[in-house]
């Protein structure tokens, strides 16, 4: 019998583990926090950091910093943050004084600023602006700037959205809603980086020649400092959780050692291995799916209202544009794994196809129901959507694989055997290649009415209003003919930037390239089934990622707007398929190495979400505006508060996934 562990030794081990864990996180905390405290706070903190004997003091300093941060959050809501140290720390949460020159800065929204236009003269002027996101667009009228002889100086104050770089033109006459390049202007300001909660003065002074100035009256806030604050809070909570978890394990271990052990004469049960290899589920697949669903929930919750997290306006690739294609990709990976399992159990193909059709129909109907969440108006109901496209792509790719795939056991040449995952799908490639070829022929050869063939633009004021009713080119035209304009998505990303018409990014014609996206995932799934050794899988995933990335780059000309086929999520362009599939290969490869090969990571907490992805998607859509998932405190006009809300929603759904797991 082993001796019991004394209680004092257990307590000592627990305290020592706290010390060790804290020592590992202390340096990272010091680098980030010490820059944000007062001078006295920095001295105390670094003294604590340099001497291990003062770990208790260091813990108190960290706690004090977090408490101060919470106090600052409270004070800023009541306009009580007056001291210098309070203001210094308040910058971490986008705090700004409420009033500046009589302007209520708290009335501004996210990414808004005040413009104070001053005219020294009697004439009226007109301010036009152009965002750098709007490709080859005319300037759009923002505000009339009124002058007056009495008093001689007239101030015009208005709010302006400043999400992206802006260029301004001041005209001495009203030329309508848009000002084209052939219009003469009084003055111009190009590529201005205006900031949130800033105040900017535009001065117009008449004389022999009108002179204009643009000056910063109040500096804007830094909208990226909240990332540091949120990261610090998350790190503190994570360290606390790990410390508590480690303490519980120590207590359980001490109890286990204290229990009587088996005597030498106690009977034992031996288990003999059968030699049959056990099938192991690739946790990286579920983790990849979990990353996608959690990212989708975060993005659909607003993503903190950062422009680079939200969907791209038209061409381009933002964080939100990765979520949907990654879901489709991982669905394609799982198709051959699922079908092989059913065929291995001798399930008839027609029975498998019936199950595929039923599942696809369920996805379509669930998506249709979710589209009616704001009220089932049949005349205006959006017919297609995310789950509808899932259902269509799943049905088509599953049918192709079910009736085209056959085991290729007769490959004798070593080169052929090493590429069995591709040669075994040669029929698939023929069918999918024909589908993609027909799609490209329609895109480049069939013009829509009053639109040129091969047009990939958003219509509206794109190209100086040359094709105002050509949103999406032939893709948008086909969708409008099939569904009718009232059954399309009425608020596309291009509507507010380009004044575009309704366009459905998940419309029926876009299902064709989506099928190719799922097939690329199926190719990855067959790769995993065909090659069982780690080296072969890693090399092939890496090769596929590089090749698809290069092909996508060639198609888009490695540029945003100037290639043959731009990267466009709304159109689900072929270059978009290639690039997102390439990134999916790389992402899956990283997860595979970290989780299934090296076992550095278990996949948690994303694994839980990946095992319940469809429930989380439906749930976060249904409860999108309900407590406790979403809430509003005060104005909710900072990236800090909006990011906290989005993270809270994501974490809460992950907790639900853990419960379901």
As annotated, the active-site residues are 311
**Which two structure tokens, joined as six digits, stand for 359?**
């599942």
CA–CA distances in Å: residue 583 to residues 30, 529, 549: 34, 21, 8
Quote the distance between the C-alpha of residue 270 and its chain's center: 51
Number of H helices and E strands in the chain, helices first, is 20, 11
The backbone torsions φ and ψ at residue 178, rounded to the nearest 5 degrees and listed phi first, read -120, 145
* Cα 386–Cα 387–Cα 390 angle in degrees, nearest 5: 95
DSSP class per residue in 494-519: HHHHH-PPP--TT-STTHHHHHHHHH
CA distance 367 to 426: 33
Which residues on neighbouring strands pair with residue 218, listed in sequence order? 199
Count of beta carbons in the 10 Å neighbourhood of residue 234: 12
Alpha helices in 182-320 (DSSP H): 225-258, 283-300
* Cα 80–Cα 85–Cα 89 angle in degrees, nearest 5: 85
CA distance 149 to 122: 5
CA distance 655 to 606: 10
- Contact between 37 and 57 under an 8 Å Cβ cutoff? The reply is no
Number of residues in the chain: 661
Residue 282: name the closest of 539, 597, 613 by CA: 597
- Give the H or E element holding residue 615: helix 613-622
């Amino acid at each position: 019998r082993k001796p019991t562990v004394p209680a004092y030794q257990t307590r000592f081990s627990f305290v020592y583990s706290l010390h060790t864990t804290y020592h590992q996180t202390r340096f990272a905390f010091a680098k980030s926090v010490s820059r944000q405290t007062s001078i006295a706070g920095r001295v105390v903190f670094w003294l604590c950091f340099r001497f291990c004997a003062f770990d208790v003091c260091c813990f108190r300093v960290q706690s004090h910093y977090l408490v101060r941060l919470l106090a600052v959050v409270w004070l800023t809501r009541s306009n009580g943050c007056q001291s210098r140290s309070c203001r210094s720390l308040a910058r971490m949460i986008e705090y700004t004084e409420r009033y500046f020159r009589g302007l209520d800065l708290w009335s501004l929204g996210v990414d808004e600023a005040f413009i104070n236009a001053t005219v020294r003269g009697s004439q009226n002027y007109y301010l036009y602006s152009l965002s750098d996101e709007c490709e080859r667009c005319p300037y759009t009228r923002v505000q009339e700037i009124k002058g007056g002889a009495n008093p001689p100086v007239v101030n015009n104050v208005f709010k302006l959205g400043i999400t992206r770089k802006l260029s301004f033109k001041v005209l001495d006459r009203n030329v309508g809603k848009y000002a084209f390049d052939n219009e003469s202007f009084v003055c111009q300001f190009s590529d201005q980086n205006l900031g949130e909660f800033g105040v900017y003065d535009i001065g117009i002074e008449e004389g022999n020649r009108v002179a204009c100035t643009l000056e910063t009256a109040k500096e804007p806030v830094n909208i990226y400092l909240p990332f540091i604050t949120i990261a610090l809070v998350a790190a503190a909570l994570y360290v606390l959780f790990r410390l508590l978890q480690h303490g519980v394990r120590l207590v359980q271990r001490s109890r286990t050692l204290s229990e009587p052990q088996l005597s030498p004469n106690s009977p034992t049960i031996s288990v003999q291995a059968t030699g049959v290899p056990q099938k192991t589920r690739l946790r990286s697949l579920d983790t990849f799916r979990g990353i996608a669903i959690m990212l989708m929930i975060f993005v659909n919750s607003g993503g903190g209202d950062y422009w680079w997290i939200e969907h791209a306006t038209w061409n381009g690739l933002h964080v939100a544009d990765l979520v949907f294609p990654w879901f489709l990709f991982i669905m394609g990976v799982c198709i051959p794994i699922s079908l092989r399992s059913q065929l291995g159990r001798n399930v008839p193909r027609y029975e498998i196809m019936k199950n595929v059709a039923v599942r696809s129909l369920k996805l379509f109907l669930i998506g249709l129901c979710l589209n009616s969440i704001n009220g089932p108006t049949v005349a205006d109901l959006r017919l297609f959507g995310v789950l509808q496209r899932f259902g269509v792509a799943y049905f088509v790719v599953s049918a192709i694989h079910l009736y085209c795939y056959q085991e290729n056991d007769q490959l004798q040449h070593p080169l052929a055997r090493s590429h069995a995952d591709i040669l075994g799908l040669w029929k698939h490639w023929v069918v999918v290649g024909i589908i993609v070829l027909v799609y490209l022929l329609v895109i480049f050869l069939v013009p829509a009415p009053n639109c040129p063939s091969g047009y990939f633009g958003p219509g509206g004021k794109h190209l100086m209003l040359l094709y105002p009713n050509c949103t999406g080119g032939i893709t948008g035209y086909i969708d409008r003919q099939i569904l009718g304009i009232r059954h399309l998505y009425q608020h596309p990303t291009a509507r507010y930037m380009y004044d575009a018409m309704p366009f459905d990014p998940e419309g029926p014609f876009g299902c064709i390239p989506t099928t190719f996206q799922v097939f690329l995932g199926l190719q990855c799934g067959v790769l995993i089934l065909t090659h069982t050794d780690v080296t072969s899988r890693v090399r092939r995933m890496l090769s596929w990622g590089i090749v698809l990335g290069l092909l996508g780059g060639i198609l888009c000309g490695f540029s945003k707007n100037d290639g043959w086929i731009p990267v466009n999520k709304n159109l689900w362009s072929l270059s978009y398929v290639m690039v997102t599939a390439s990134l999916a290969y790389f992402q899956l490869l990283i997860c595979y190495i970290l989780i299934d090969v090296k076992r550095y990571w278990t996949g948690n907490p994303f694994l839980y979400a990946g095992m319940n992805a469809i429930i989380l998607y439906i749930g976060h859509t249904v409860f999108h505006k309900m407590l406790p998932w979403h809430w509003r405190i005060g104005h909710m006009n900072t990236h800090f508060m909006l990011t906290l809300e989005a993270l809270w929603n994501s974490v809460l759904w992950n907790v639900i996934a853990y419960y379901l797991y």
